[in-house]
Amino acid sequence: MNQGKVAIVSGAGGGIGREIALALARTGAAVVVNDIGVSVTGEGGSATPSEETKRLIEEAGGSAVVDTHSVDSWDSARAIVATALDAFERIDIVVNNAGILRDTIFHKMTAEQWLSVVGVHLNGSFFLSRAAAEHFRRQEAGAFVHMTSTSGLIGNFGQANYAAAKLGICALSKSIALDMKRFNVRSNCIAPFAWSRMTSEIPADTDEQRERIERLRKMTPEKNAPLAVFLASDAAHDISGQVFGTRHNEIFLFDPFRPARSVHRSEGWDLQSIADHAVPALQAHFAALDRSGDVFSWDPL
């Protein structure tokens, strides 16, 4: 399915990224295993996780190379693409999966917690995609797969930085899909559900939280790989600008934002008429303050 292609998978040292890298290799792609080997909150740094992914790929007969540059700067993102070109002489697929968490309630969130998370998730997705885009344009082919999250699509407590970055990735993906369609370049998002290092940081202080974690534990990272591999392949040649979700054995398609209801007043609006007429007409269509766990309230199937 991806025979002869070259893929970059960021954050491929473990969890979902590793499973996607392994799955891409099984379908014939050579893989740049990008990971800086930090903790879930971004501390430390080691080549060991990415070397382990490379070993697993090669033991299965695949081809891989390790890259330990961070995605959070333009120069290092270009270096990641250079690793692919130096090792395999082309680039066909980019999977933007790298991420960190710095969860805290909004009124206590620091500037550093905001900037670090947005820097890896949103800026990193832009930098790596942009670095690959010039090669995709020249060869008139390429596929981007970006990891988003229901924390951004729906909402969650204590994740303003992460949620904003992840919803921003959806807008970035749609813009790439629109701008690069003429070059046969596709861009799609996946909101993955999986128990991983990142979800293991979810608090388990109440019975409700503990029950939710038990449901999450059933969703192992490899369940997300098939859709990512499909979207990266030529089999998805006519699919672009979409946002999917994967949860255990379920696949979801998310609706983009669209106007839900409108009201009109020929003489225009003022504060009182908005309160008296516009709000009562619109209120039934207001978005609820739901979290991801409220919307996906049933056990994984």
Give the residue numbers marked as catalytic: 162
Sheet holding 243-247, edge to edge: 64-67, 30-34, 6-10, 93-96, 142-147, 185-193, 243-247, 250-253
| 8/25 Cα distance (integer angstroms) | 11
Q: What is the DSSP letter of 255?
A: P
| 28/41 Cα distance (integer angstroms) | 33
Question: Mutual orientation of helices 160-180 and 111-118 as an angle, nearest 10°?
Answer: 30
Q: Is the CB of residue 21 less than 8 Å from the CB of residue 57?
A: yes
Q: What is the DSSP letter of 218?
A: T
Q: Which of 188, 109, 196, 93 has its CA nearest to residue 148?
A: 188
Dihedral sign for Cα 14, 16, 20, 26, please.
Answer: positive
Direct distance between the N- and C-terminal alpha carbons of the chain, in angstroms, rounded to an integer:
27
Q: What are the Cα distances from residue 219, in Å, to 76, 223, 290?
A: 32, 7, 21
Q: Is 58 left (phi over 0), alpha (psi -120 to 50) or beta?
A: alpha
Q: Which of 175, 80, 74, 83 has its CA nearest to residue 123?
A: 74
Return the exposure string of 199-234: e unless at least 16 CB atoms fall within 10 Å of the residue's CB, then b. Answer: beebeeeeeeeeebeebbeebebebbbebbbbbbbe
Determine which helix (DSSP H) or strand (DSSP E) holds 153, and give its type and residue range: helix 150-153
